[in-house]
Structure 1
């Protein structure tokens, strides 16, 4: 069968979309003349813009479909967008009910998905249980591409940062009181899961240590929770870190991460973005499996909690423990000193 048109469905979250980016490169490496469409939700859209291996981006606005009335109102127009093209293959890398519905709407004769698909998505797309089904999620996604016939000679995370985005990032940093030419470490202090966050008192001690080493600590994030976290760090540190919380787009953040010495953070989108950009990462992990979700290619830079309950995959500790508090500031310093 000749493959001319492929759709990838990977909607969210930001870290998951980053993990799937190498699939776009792998597809175009093996099928350079095919047309590649990617379906994504708004929060991760910026990551895909200007990707040289993606020809078309379709934005799926989930909030419009949450109610029955919203679904009935919006599904006809969304279906028509999906069916504007005749797809030969759809890769459902999300493996949920919403992505299965999109795969179904595509009418593609070949529908492939990952191992461990949920919400009946495995009924729509064939789950691919490749050699990495128990390995890193990046390789699990690439196994789906391999099933399609992709060789995957190298793993590439295509994140295209324009000159305009770079210049705006530098201006934002300057307005925050930071000289981007000086050495700095990015601290990704937030996370959607409470138990993926390292204590702010620990970050404050790390901030003071970095200043003592003539390294600028730069805090990133977004949202009300991260605003609270940076406020706590400011209160507990001798000198406040540079605060870029909520001040950048994803691409501007990518540029600032690329220019940094290293990044410290939990299992979050910025940590995976840093790893994909080839930047040194100190990853702090507890509730999620580092073998699956650690920084790709940097498993030696992971610090895990020493507890039988690690890898619980729970958003909030049922024992009401501060999960990552088991990781000391000294442990982070020991890892970070090699990069600064």
Structure 2
């Protein structure tokens, strides 16, 4: 049996879909599983012990090259997929883009979401096994598992997150960096300031205060992650607020980010990819939810604490809001720090 998973993007969504791998392999370890994903996220999956092959999709790159390049790239991807002779496709994306590849991959069985679960209705034309979601499938990982369960109801392993492989080479690189910074003899706390939406951000002054308290009360030097120039400037401001004690981590490869998060004792951030990576590699997290729903997106388990804004309008899914400042400060530094004490010290 050869199965293709179609989950193209985004970073957090790809991570949330990982439990489907363990579910399929719990039925029959000989099942061959491939994954179609946007090439920027492929390093997360390449080398995974439960995957046979990762198909890189270069849609963003092709679009920059023009219309003809996009058509050529899509055509070649479809040719490559059809040569694999898939028995089944699991479309875990549910939009038009994923539907094209699901329909044309050549598999006789094409599982996907029913009308209540698709993101874009034309996706319904691509699948011939439609899975209706129930209230029990509220969490985004459970949505993907619902499709896997419909295709393989005899599965036994339903993980809350992961599994995710950590590259030995990346792990060695990160360990050398930690040793050079003398960070391998203290609790390792990682702070992820950035998110994709401004309405998901926790205020910069809150991050500055939290980083200062970590330095003063725990004598740790928190690591600051960044992914673009705006986030780097925020990290510089946090670094300065701690008199240089917080460390601005150099931007590395995606496998190196995974390795760093696996080595951390605690990762703190909003509803964003690194938080979900941390959960997938077994690291404790504190996640801050403002406009998105912690019950739908948040890491699950005793080693994770999700803090939802107490405002009556949260979660609202708005990318712009006149109450943005109020919402950001509705999750207090004291509340986050208490959560740090619970996870690092075991306080109740």
Please report the TM-score for the alignment, with normalisation by the length of structure 1.
0.92
> How many Å separate the matches in 1 of 2:322 and 2:97?
29
User: Could you tell me how far 1:37 is from its partner in structure 2?
Assistant: 1.0
CA contact (8 A) 1:178 1:242 kept: no
Q: 1:208 to 1:117 in 2, by over 3 A?
A: same
Partner SS, residue 181 of structure 1: coil
What residue in structure 1 maps to residue 9 of structure 2? 12
What residue in structure 1 maps to residue 54 of structure 2? 57
What residue in structure 2 maps to residue 149 of structure 1? 152
CA RMSD of aligned residues (A): 2.0
> How many Å separate the matches in 1 of 2:303 and 2:321?
24
What residue in structure 2 maps to residue 227 of structure 1? 232
CA contact (8 A) 2:191 2:224 kept: yes
> How many Å separate the matches in 2 of 1:37 and 1:269?
22
What residue in structure 2 maps to residue 41 of structure 1? 38
Partner SS, residue 17 of structure 2: helix
Partner SS, residue 70 of structure 2: helix
Is structure 2 residue 182 aligned with structure 1 residue 160? no
Please, which moves more after superposition, 256-265 or 166-175? 166-175
What residue in structure 2 maps to residue 116 of structure 1? 117
Residues paired across the two proteins, number: 335
User: Could you tell me how far 1:284 is from its partner in structure 2?
Assistant: 0.5
Is structure 2 residue 213 aligned with structure 1 residue 214? no
Please, which moves more after superposition, 86-95 or 57-66? 57-66
> How many Å separate the matches in 1 of 2:256 and 2:241?
28
> How many Å separate the matches in 1 of 2:321 and 2:40?
26
Cα deviation digits, residues 255-293 of structure 1 (max 9, x gap): 222222211110001111111222211110011111110
Task: Decide which of 326, 331, 334 is 1:327's aligned counterpart.
Answer: 331
CA contact (8 A) 2:215 2:245 kept: no
Cα deviation digits, residues 82-131 of structure 1 (max 9, x gap): 11111111011111111000101112111112352122212212442244
Paired residues for 1:179-198 under 5 Å? 179-198=183-202
Q: 1:68 to 1:201 in 2, by over 3 A?
A: same
What residue in structure 2 maps to residue 82 of structure 1? 81
Please, which moves more after superposition, 304-313 or 11-20? 304-313
Q: 1:255 to 1:74 in 2, by over 3 A?
A: closer
> How many Å separate the matches in 1 of 2:61 and 2:136?
33
Structure 2: stretches of 5+ with no match in the other structure: none
Please report the TM-score for the alignment, with normalisation by the length of structure 2.
0.90
Is structure 2 residue 258 aligned with structure 1 residue 254? yes
Please, which moves more after superposition, 251-260 or 135-144? 251-260
Partner SS, residue 343 of structure 2: coil
Please, which moves more after superposition, 158-167 or 127-136? 127-136
Structure 1: stretches of 5+ with no match in the other structure: none
Please, which moves more after superposition, 330-339 or 128-137? 128-137
What residue in structure 1 maps to residue 305 of structure 2? 301
CA contact (8 A) 1:222 1:245 kept: no
Please, which moves more after superposition, 266-275 or 148-157? 148-157
CA contact (8 A) 1:272 1:296 kept: no
> How many Å separate the matches in 1 of 2:68 and 2:221?
51
